[in-house]
Every structure is written in structure tokens, then in C-alpha cells.
Structure 1
């Protein structure tokens, strides 16, 4: 399997900032990839080569995450699930893509869900990889997540790497940061300024009614070793979505697309009705 990402970067100028994205593949069937916290389009480096053989794949860096794009001083005011969903629709409109599947990882799962809820006539399939949709859990079952406050305190004290290590280990398991390769650490360092925005962001309330009403298929993916609350979130979503299928990648934690890229890519291709690709 090819494990590199040499695709060119394109820039779309928005009213307040710029959005950088990669666009790979020639198929009329399109998949939008939405990354999660502390990431950008580089997160999908092992997805684009495989997936673009069968799909047109759009991989943006969300505004306020994208290290390659100039940011306005007021960008923090636009750091929200609603705004990022709007930005993604603006990108797809710019590319002339009316109908598409959307895959969201972690915080990106909230954006994917918001897009399908807002425009179920345009989103053909929702794929959620360890989505950060904690609102689906009963309040008394949501585990305490002390790493968030600890990471914020470390960041605000000026120790960026310690903050990143605390946060990454919190969502993926102890020792994950030390095992990460250099490109991943560089990516998260580029996005470190978003850490306070992530931690202080209000809870996103999922309403699955519109997704169910339109019969949109939902593919749920999780890692066998993903820490709480991700397995419980997937359990709840499996019950709430009428047209859901679920897959567990083993052995993998929260970064399941990086741990098992071939298996991850094959789940996507099969979910979207494409034959498996061998490379």
C-alpha cells in the first residue's frame, strides 16, 4: 500500500481567512475528509493514495487549524462546529460538488454530523471514526477527562510539548505521544494554538432525527484500544442511527486510520460501494 502524500495543495480564500485543501481522484463519487483536533489535511496522508483510486477525495485543513493559511486576529470567534460546517459547504460549493459522503474523525465527527443534519439532501453517507459526540451519553456516565484541564494548564504555562503529550495521550492512551513519528508531532505543534479553543468549546448536541429521516447510511468505526468515552459513544450511536453499521479495527486506538490504514481504507471503500483496491 502506498503511504505517502504528494498531492498538490490548493487554497480557497474565505471572507476572514484562507482554507488549504488537497483534491485527489477523478471519480464522480466524492468523499470529504474532516480531521479532528490538533490535525490538518496531513492527517489523511495514508488515505488519499488508496481512496483516490476509486473516489474523488477532498481533504481540507479546517480554518484556525491550517498552518499553511494566514489567520485573522479574530479567528478564535469563528472556531465552532457550526462555522466549520459552513466552511466545508463553502469549499464543496466552490468545487461544484453537490452530493458527497463525509468522514469525520474525533472532533471532525461533530462537523460531519452537523453537515448531514443541516443538509441531508446533499450528504449521501456519514462515516464517523471515533467521533467526539459525548452529548449522546447520559451525563452521569460521561467519564471525567482530567487530561483536558492539565493540557490547558501546561499550554498556558508555556510548555507546549508537555501540553500536546498530555492531550494526545488522553485521547489515544498513555505513551502515544512518545511513539508518534516526527511528521505527526510537527503537525500537532503547528496546531498547538488551537488547544485552548478545543478545550473551551461548548458541547455539541447531536440530533440524529434528520439523518434518520432521510435514511442516510452511517458507518461507525472505532479502535479496539480507544480509551473512554469513545467506545461508549459508538455504542450509543449504533442505537440512535437507524441505518448504521459498525466496525472495530484491532489493534488500534484513537488514531485508527494511522494504525491500520489499509483496513481503514477498505472499510470506507466497501461502505461507499466500491471494490477493494489492492496495492
Structure 2
């Protein structure tokens, strides 16, 4: 398995499953990166060099995602926003990092948001890139997402690539899978076993009250070409948070950090380390 860059991989033995992670940079300012569905730490391959030059970056592959020295037991029970949030805090505790910013993409945005809700005294900045927080939308405005059931059916029939193509195109736009480079396809194939867990996962309900109470700054980053429901989620979140800034990357779809990595990285750095006036 080819991993990104030359940064070393470390392994933390959690009670539920082993977790691999990368820890790069020496700044006292720390940023935790939380990937989304069908991804792992490779998803941040174009972020680690730029970001680690400015801040310390911790980039894990969530438990139940490979690479891991052994497959986790009871994956169904352990694959949840709540458990993955607990796992992320366990990682930061292991590293002795008490205060940190957290950036979550897509499903990772749910984990990042839950971390800020659960321990607002530890999260210094919440960054959400096209977050999968559909619960903030009115029920009648949430678009139907038939690709999820179609992808699950294809996967259960043993058509893994077809399932991945249906899911990726549903999330990022028609034709995305065919345009994806080889390393991205390899990554999603490695993580294909999580597809049923993703699709069957209950809806995450965001409660921003503690985030607002603690005055945590929130940065929202969306793609100009991201398909529904992501633009509507970004717009709705602007009414949920008291302290936020919003950025749109153009032209970019759901994989905005891969489409425009330099622009994405600059937004993150500027938000975490504001320039002196």
C-alpha cells in the first residue's frame, strides 16, 4: 500500500481497534485533520507539507479504516460519530495535546463538530470543509439521496468498483470517479469495507449551543461546484454559529482540498495564524 509523502506512520493501540496517524510539525499551534468517508490520512497528502510548515498537524486514519495492523473487532458497534470522537480525544491525550484546532471534511465534519460540542474547553478553532451536517437543513429541503441505496446494493452484489463510482459521483458530482487519479481510487478501494457502515449510520444531530457559549471561532469552507446538499448546509450553518467566517473555493467540488490545495491550505493557515494588522 502506497502512503502519502514520506512522513512516518505511528500506531496507537486503542481499546477498540488500532489507529494509525501522522504527526508532523513543531509549532505550539496544533491542528487535527479528520477525513471523511472512504478516505484515510492519504486524503491530506497535499495538506501536510504546507500546513506542517506553519502548525503542528496530526492526521489519523480513523479506527475501522486501514492501514491498521489488524482488522478491528466489532466494527459495526464501534463505527459511530460518538466513538470516533472518543477515539480522536484518546489520540490527542496520547500525544499530550490539551488544546488544538480541528478540521473535518464531509463525514469528518460531524466528528469535528462533535469534538467541539463535547469539549469546547479543548477545541480552539473549528474548521468545516463541505461538512456532512444535513441535520441543520429543514426536513422538506433535504434532497433525496438515492445513490446511497444504489451504492449499497452494488456493494452487496460484489460490484465494489461500481458501488464506489455510484457513491463518489453522488457525493462529488457525475463523472468524478472516472476523473479520479489512481492513488485516490486505490484509497477508496482500500476503505470499501466501510461503505455499508457509512450508509447505515444514523443521522448526526448538531447542537451548536456549547460551541457558541465558549465563543469557538468557526471556519466554513465550501466548493463552488459542490452538489446538493453541501452548499445549503454551508448556508444554514452560517445561522447556527455566532463566530464564523465562510470561504468558497472556485472552481472546486466536494474534494476541494485536492482540487485547489494551495488555496485551501492558505485559508487554513490564515485562519489559525492571523497576520498582524
**Normalised-by-shorter TM-score class:** over 0.9
C-alpha offsets along residues 62-90 of structure 1, whole Å, 9 cap, x if unaligned?
A: 00112334123312210000000000000
Aligned residues of 2:172 and 2:227 also touching (Cα < 8 A)? yes
Alignment of 1:148-159 (within 5 A): 148-159=148-159
What's the CA shift for 1:159?
Answer: 0.2
Show CA shifts across 1:91-135 (max 9, x none). Answer: 000000000000000000000000000000000000000000000
Asked if the contact 1:67/1:191 (under 8 Å) is kept, the reply is no
| Partner residue in 2 for 1:224 | 224
Contact 1:17 1:69 in 2 (8 A): no
The 1-side partners of 2:147 and 2:69 are apart by 29
* Secondary structure of the structure 1 residue equivalent to 2:238: helix
For the structure 1 residues 223 and 69, does the alpha-carbon distance in structure 2 shift closer, same or farther, using more than 3 Å as the test? farther
> C-alpha distance in 2, partners of 1:65/1:39?
8
* Contact 1:36 1:107 (8 Å CA) reproduced: yes
- C-alpha distance in 2, partners of 1:34/1:23? 13
**Equivalent-residue separation in structure 2 for 1:100 and 1:66 (angstroms):** 25
Alignment partner of 2:121: what SS?
Answer: coil
Q: 2:210 matched to 1:205?
A: no
Equivalent residues in 2 for 1:25-36 (5 A)? 25-36=25-36
Helix, strand or coil at the partner of 2:84: helix
Structure-2 separation of matches of 1:274 and 1:67: 35
What TM-score, normalized to structure 1? 0.96
Matching residue of 1:91: 91
Find the counterpart in structure 2 of residue 249 from structure 1.
249
Deviation at 1:274, TM superposition (A): 4.8
Aligned to 1:116: 116
Q: Which residue does 1:75 correspond to in 2?
A: 75
Distance in 2 (CA, whole Å) between partners of 1:65 and 1:258 is 20
Q: Would you say how many aligned residue pairs link Structure 1 and Structure 2?
A: 273
- Give yes or no for contact 1:64–1:76 (8 Å, CA) kept in 2: no
Deviation at 1:6, TM superposition (A): 1.2
Normalised by the length of structure 2, the TM-score is: 0.97
Tell me which residue corresponds to 2:11.
Answer: 11
Separation (CA, whole Å) in 2 of partners of 1:57 and 1:141: 36
Q: What do residues 211-231 of structure 1 show as CA deviations (whole Å, max 9, x unaligned)?
A: 000000000000000000000
C-alpha RMSD of the superposition:
1.1
**2:239 equivalent in structure 1:** 239
Aligned partners of 2:20 and 2:67 also within 8 Å? no
Using the alignment, how far apart are the partners of 2:23 and 2:67 within structure 1? Answer: 18
Alpha-carbon distance in 1 for matches of 2:53, 2:272: 13
Separation (CA, whole Å) in 2 of partners of 1:226 and 1:245: 18
Evaluate the alpha carbon distance shift between residue 248 and residue 142 of structure 1 in structure 2; reply closer, same or farther with a 3 A threshold. Answer: same
